[in-house]
Structure 1
């Protein structure tokens, strides 16, 4: 059961009302996570800005989804995990790779290396080495794609932690 209530443009106040009204006018409706985030205009605005910015990331979408699966498996947000597994399937990631992503790896050494980096950013960024970054470049990743990993991880931490705090689960009918 959700711990925080959904807000609508009619029940939200101030900046949150404006943000929700704009989203509803553009999309017709908003999901539970977004409408619940509206309790904090700072969190909602930050989420929307980071989400839009990461839409321009240079990291391949299938790789980004595998990173998200690895992070959400560890963070424990089933709502986010389910959404990222579905998105990975839509981008053509096969079931074997989805399962490997859950364990933090890939059959492809380059993808395995970037997932490993993402998990280090999530758990222990001080343990990242120069050699890892050099190896990622040797796998063909640009500095921009490597930097994008931090944004993917940050977005996953934000959405997963928020959903866990708010009590949003697949059973509550919410969406990430």
Structure 2
């Protein structure tokens, strides 16, 4: 597939330029995948609202969801980005590999989360009922389950955008597993 060009700040609308400026101020750069959203007048702003929305999930839990969904969807860009972010959240390289494999030995609650999320992603929302029950038994509630699905949707959007655009990955590559 031919890569879609990553627009520069000068090539996007005034509204998207402001978002580029905010991203640069907050994280030091505009990741290529975010920049490609700016081909649309509204997509970048819409996506940033979704990805930054309040959630009952702790940052580490959100990264578990991001990693396993990206693994299921085979998104090299998001695996690279979320491996870097997961390290900033305190996960080790070995823990990140466990998360991506969908089998966590270092935290039983996160194990229930990764397993139900993997089932949700693989089965288009029709998760294994036993895994949903294990998720609740681990201490999550109905609101947590809804929040997991929102993050699954968020990550699926970025996974699909990368699959369609093949933008250059501007994070260190995630190790193969």
TM-score clears 0.5: yes
Change in CA separation of 1:25 and 1:105 when aligned onto 2, cut-off 3 Å: same
Deviation, 1:135, is 3.2
The equivalent residue for 1:50 is 50
User: Within 5 Å, which residues of 2 pair with 1:1-80?
Assistant: 3-12=3-12, 17-28=13-24, 30-53=30-53, 56-80=54-78
**Structure 2 vs 1, CA of residues 64 and 26 (structure 1 numbering), >3 Å: closer, same or farther?**
closer
Which whole-Å deviations, capped at 9, do the CAs of 1:139-166 have from their partners, x for residues lacking one?
1213222211111111111111111211
Change in Cα spacing, 1:169 to 1:76, as seen in structure 2 (3 Å) is farther
Q: Report 1:138-157 matches (<5 A).
A: 138-157=137-156
Q: Which residue of 2 aligns with 1:135?
A: 134
Structure 1 moving runs of 4+ over 3 Å? 131-135
TM normalised by structure 2 equals 0.80
Q: Specify every segment of 5 or more residues in structure 2 that has no aligned partner in the other structure, as ranges.
A: 173-177
Whole-Å separation in 2 of the counterparts to 1:2 and 1:168: 9
On the 8 A contact 1:168/1:174 being kept in 2, the answer is no
Pair 1:121–1:151, CA change in 2 (3 A)? same
Q: Which residue of 2 aligns with 1:86?
A: 84
State the partner residue of 1:120: 119
Aligned residues: 166
Offset of 1:25 from its aligned partner? 3.4
Measure how far apart 1:9 and its partner are.
4.7
Q: 2:101 aligns with which of 89, 103, 111?
A: 103
Aligned residue in 1 for 2:157: 158
Q: Which has the higher helix share?
A: 1
RMSD: 2.4
**How far does residue 43 in structure 1 lie from its aligned partner after superposition?**
3.0
